[in-house]
Structures are given as structure tokens and as C-alpha cells.
């Protein structure tokens, strides 16, 4: 009988420890946007970009699947790559945000692209961007236009 109680006590202790460790990370993805900014854009360009760090402190992966803003006709998720000494930009279907990890959107890499700006983006301006995540849904952020 003593052995059984000891085994039960050990199993119970292991269960409590597992529950406590599991409580450290929230269930599902937990998305946090940090350091959102964009570059000033002359009207002649007609385009702009936003950069940020997307953290996922949750226990499930998530994915940024689209973005929207009232500053441009279209907003897309883009990436850039170097091919034959030429930098090329292209649309992508999303950006993976791993559980317990992050994704950095930065110049020369992944970014949110504004196409067909209604007006130029100027230093000090703050624009609103709505990001859509596969599991977390929508999150609206403010993006400050500034020099890098």
C-alpha cells in the first residue's frame, strides 16, 4: 500500500509541475506588434512601406495573411531578394510567426507595401494599419512615418 501511495504522490507532483509549466505560455497564439514605422514617401513614387517586429508569445504558430489601410488603393505583404545583382520585390501570401518566436519586417526584406498612395507619407505622420492573422484575427496598429 505504501508503494501505491508513493506512486500516486509522484504522479500527482509530476502533473502539478506540468500544469504550472504549461501555464507559463498562454494557449493559442498571442500576437504583439512592436516598433512599427514607415519611411516618408514622395508622391511621385506612389508607394510606401511599413516595418515592425511581430512577436508571438503564445503556444501556437500564427501567420500574417493580409493588411489594410485607408492611405492607399491596395496594401500587400512583400518580400525582397537579390537576383543577379538586382534587388527584386515580390508579393507573398503571408509571414509565419512561430510560437514563442517573432518575425521582423525590415527594409530589404519582408514588409507591408502600400500601393497607390492617396497622398505622400510625411515625417511625423501616423497612419493606421489593420493586420489580419490566420488564427488571431485582426489587430489595428499605428505606424509612425520617420527616417530609418
Per-residue pLDDT tens over the stretch 10-43: 555 554 554 454 455 557 889 999 999 999 998 7
Q: Topology of 31-145 in CATH?
A: Immunoglobulin-like (2.60.40)
57-84 pLDDT, tens digit per residue, is: 999 999 999 999 999 999 999 999 988 9
Q: Phi and psi for 111 in degrees, rounded to 5?
A: -165, 165
* Domain regions of the chain by residue span: 31-145
Instruction: Please provide the DSSP assignment of the chain as one string.
Output: -HHHHHHHHHHHHHHHHHHHHHTTS-SS--EEEEEEEE--B-TTT-EEEEEEEEEE-SSS-EEEEEEE-TTEEEEEEEEEEEETTEEEEEE-S-EEE-TTEEEEE-TTS-EEEEEEESS-B-TT-EEEEEEEETTTEEEEEEEEE---
- The pLDDT value recorded for residue 2 is 54
- Total count of residues recorded for the chain: 148
CA distance 50 to 127: 10
What pLDDT digit, counting tens, does each position of 99-148 carry? 999 999 999 999 999 999 999 999 999 999 999 999 999 999 999 999 98
pTM comes to: 0.80
Query: Is beta strand 137-145 parallel, antiparallel or unpaired with respect to 31-38?
Result: parallel
Amino acid at each position: 500500500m505504501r508503494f501505491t501511495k508513493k506512486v500516486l504522490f509522484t504522479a500527482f507532483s509530476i502533473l502539478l509541475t506540468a500544469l504550472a509549466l504549461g501555464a507559463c505560455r498562454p494557449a493559442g497564439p498571442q500576437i504583439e506588434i512592436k516598433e512599427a514605422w514607415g519611411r516618408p514617401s514622395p508622391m511621385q513614387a506612389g508607394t510606401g512601406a511599413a516595418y515592425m517586429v511581430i512577436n508571438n508569445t503564445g503556444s501556437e504558430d500564427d501567420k500574417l495573411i493580409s493588411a489594410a489601410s485607408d492611405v492607399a488603393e491596395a496594401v500587400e505583404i512583400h518580400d525582397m531578394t537579390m537576383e543577379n545583382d538586382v534587388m527584386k520585390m515580390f508579393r507573398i501570401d503571408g509571414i509565419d510567426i512561430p510560437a514563442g518566436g517573432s518575425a521582423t519586417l525590415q527594409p530589404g526584406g519582408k514588409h507591408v507595401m502600400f500601393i497607390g498612395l492617396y497622398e505622400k507619407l510625411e515625417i511625423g505622420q501616423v497612419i493606421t494599419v489593420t493586420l489580419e492573422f490566420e488564427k488571431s484575427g485582426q489587430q489595428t496598429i499605428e505606424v509612425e512615418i520617420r527616417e530609418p
